[in-house]
Structure 1
């Protein structure tokens, strides 16, 4: 009897160690939202926190279902998603960057992400890609490259987008206009439309990120590529090349020549988009990620063309303005293998194809977009994007935040009458402040 009692006591003691003295499994330890428990341990529950950017009704259900499907494939794994809007996620990540990041978080490759990479906050996922050649080779190379820092992959793209000029086909046909191949032809189209009482180009900069699309594009066209990329490095950037002034002047010229819609400083991007869909203007600058919005809402047929190169400008026409959206993994996650497994699940060809089909978000997977899951326009646009050497990332995420703010302010100031050369001085001052802080 004493032996039996001893064995029972030993069993109870062991049970308390494993499950807590209540007889229930002990709650796993948590470290600021990182996944609990040993990564991949048999029977051990794993919870991953996931910060995403798509709270809208036309996007959120897809991600919620994807999480349910992943959890069904991985019993014991829980994905806790928080989904916030575009601007909110920028603010949120800036605030929490000094503390504990979510296990998996949305990011824009470029300086927005590189600051996390430099601080050692993002997991180097290169070895995971190398260990799965099929997964690695499934991405469009130029898009996968956007997440590389110092030769190593620190994020995985799940969506990408590129900028085009959309045009109202009925208006173009009315004046016998065709898609321009050069910037001079584009300006001639604008002039013809203006002379006939049409609004050539719908634009609004009440939300200054839209102006950053313009300035980033003109920077790409007017500034030598290597110079631009050097300036976009916060440790050394100076922004003294005259191409930056030419880029701002190009935006100003569109306004002073009367090619922009009126009230550019009080109208925002969404209002300009609504006006285009209502047939109130001939052209608008927008990204492939928004094509589904135009497909659903435009009253008239529309087409699109590349932003044409400027004769004599010293930038590169081999790159198209755009960018990827990606998922990075916290370097402090306690479950790196499972976090990578979730990101891999979201970026399989099958899942990416489904994302594009259900949400209209273009995926970066080779063969992941066709006319069965997206529009013929998007298929054509993606084919055009793939002919470029690479993607020049959105200005407001590719440079340091202070420099980005200075650029966006410079665009607004120039639209308000400030000389581009004077406006660039504020950008140069912001760049100096950032350089000094790096030292």
Structure 2
């Protein structure tokens, strides 16, 4: 029987290495599989619980223990778990650079053995295989992916006769109308600094193009480049116009979402998971549109991929590999993604609903896809970059100095 352990931060910090250490087998021969998960919001947590229960039913010789940690604390503690001699058997994480950084350090176990006869390739698109691999080996099991877009309150838009804007000029006009009607045009829970990363991705790629943004996150472009300056100034301009909600840095992303849900804010640039925290009677009133165009012919989208890894120091790798093989199946992927309206990584799982189809169509129409700023750039660089974005928002007169400091960090980090 699974055991769900929700850990308080104080306990986690005091015993950061404790949340791991699976046992190979109990006295009755039952194997214990220990999973550390960041799925602490109610909807994904319940979906994951159902997934674990189904796995246990199909594998009666394995007992699963899930240690659930709040998302931001999880990211802080994960390196400690991976370097522990008693690491958990499975951890939730992100595809692409964030996974590859751990694989490069030798902290992950390749999971290819769970997929004989090229079974992994039969389940996942080429792009997902690349995002799940490092140096020729597969280290990541992709489960779900989602899109970022500008979510908006349809009741507010209908009442003010507003249409979803397609261009930046139209976006500013909509924002001004919302402001004149005492509605915060843009919600952002900037207490969670990663919310600024979405704005940076979309503004930089919309203004300067996908190729430029890729080069920037790869460390090939200076943050003092005039094109980056324009990106920062454009975001700061939104705040100067009074379009960004008051006291944004005091709100978590979920708290800011409440303003959108109750009509105190009109728009929110956020991932599809915003629907996870929306009340049931509000979900149908929240829709989304593609990020406005700055006149370029194409557009880019943020499409993060979430999934699982097996630590190199996992105790029960045999059970972990069984879990990886199970997670890859269409049935397991649908069990998790359908209730959440996510897109399954497995290419054989149908789109769950009209909302997801609209998101998929938006992604398929894009000229390029980004994982997310804090997944496409080194972790330290992204952390400093997101802080710089918010600093520029609050102190637009200091943008030149902010970017000069940020570029010095770029030179140090990428060197």
Normalised by the length of structure 1, the TM-score is 0.78
Q: d(CA) in 1 for partners of 2:114 and 2:366? A: 28
Instruction: Please say if 1:120 is aligned against 2:124.
Output: no
Provide the secondary structure at the position in 2 that maps to 1:303: strand
Q: d(CA) in 2 for partners of 1:57 and 1:191? A: 35
Is the CA contact 1:410–1:426 (under 8 Å) kept in the aligned structure 2?
Answer: no
Instruction: Please say if 1:428 is aligned against 2:412.
Output: no
Question: What are structure 2's unaligned runs of at least 5 residues?
Answer: 1-19
> How far 1:323 moved relative to its partner?
0.5
Question: What are structure 1's unaligned runs of at least 5 residues?
Answer: 1-31, 38-42
Is the CA contact 2:56–2:64 (under 8 Å) kept in the aligned structure 1?
Answer: yes
C-alpha offsets along residues 253-308 of structure 1, whole Å, 9 cap, x if unaligned?
Answer: 11112222222233332232111111112211121122243362528723210112
Q: d(CA) in 2 for partners of 1:261 and 1:55? A: 26
> How far 1:44 moved relative to its partner?
6.7
Instruction: Please say if 1:78 is aligned against 2:63.
Output: yes
2:370 to 381, 392, 413: 392
**In structure 2, what is the equivalent of residue 286 of structure 1?**
270
Provide the secondary structure at the position in 2 that maps to 1:261: coil
2:186 to 195, 201, 224: 201
**In structure 1, what is the equivalent of residue 231 of structure 2?**
247
**In structure 2, what is the equivalent of residue 3 of structure 1?**
none
> How far 1:362 moved relative to its partner?
4.2
Change (3 A) 1:172 1:95: same
**In structure 2, what is the equivalent of residue 33 of structure 1?**
21
**In structure 2, what is the equivalent of residue 98 of structure 1?**
83
Instruction: Please say if 1:192 is aligned against 2:177.
Output: yes
Instruction: Please say if 1:303 is aligned against 2:273.
Output: no
Matching of residues 265-280 of structure 1 within 5 Å: 265-280=249-264
> How far 1:348 moved relative to its partner?
1.6
**In structure 2, what is the equivalent of residue 342 of structure 1?**
323
Number of equivalenced pairs? 392
Is the CA contact 1:164–1:304 (under 8 Å) kept in the aligned structure 2?
Answer: yes
Is the CA contact 2:113–2:321 (under 8 Å) kept in the aligned structure 1?
Answer: no
2:167 to 172, 182, 206: 182
Is the CA contact 2:41–2:276 (under 8 Å) kept in the aligned structure 1?
Answer: no
Q: d(CA) in 1 for partners of 2:58 and 2:42? A: 25
Provide the secondary structure at the position in 2 that maps to 1:55: coil
Q: d(CA) in 1 for partners of 2:165 and 2:361? A: 18
Q: d(CA) in 2 for partners of 1:98 and 1:237? A: 33
Matching of residues 317-332 of structure 1 within 5 Å: 317-332=298-313
Instruction: Please say if 1:365 is aligned against 2:346.
Output: yes
Change (3 A) 1:126 1:347: closer
1:381 to 348, 359, 366: 359
Is the CA contact 1:142–1:389 (under 8 Å) kept in the aligned structure 2?
Answer: no
Greater Rg over alpha carbons, structure: 1
1:402 to 380, 387, 400: 380
Provide the secondary structure at the position in 2 that maps to 1:326: strand
Q: d(CA) in 2 for partners of 1:380 and 1:227? A: 27
C-alpha offsets along residues 144-187 of structure 1, whole Å, 9 cap, x if unaligned?
Answer: 43323345432111121211111222332344332222223222
Is the CA contact 2:185–2:244 (under 8 Å) kept in the aligned structure 1?
Answer: yes
> How far 1:129 moved relative to its partner?
4.5
Change (3 A) 1:357 1:206: same
> How far 1:349 moved relative to its partner?
1.3
Is the CA contact 1:237–1:431 (under 8 Å) kept in the aligned structure 2?
Answer: no
> How far 1:95 moved relative to its partner?
2.3
Q: d(CA) in 2 for partners of 1:415 and 1:71? A: 49
Change (3 A) 1:50 1:377: same
Q: d(CA) in 2 for partners of 1:202 and 1:155? A: 33
Change (3 A) 1:366 1:389: farther
Q: What CA RMSD, in Å, does the superposition of the two structures yield over aligned residues?
A: 3.1
Q: d(CA) in 2 for partners of 1:339 and 1:389? A: 37
**In structure 2, what is the equivalent of residue 28 of structure 1?**
none
Q: d(CA) in 2 for partners of 1:191 and 1:143? A: 40
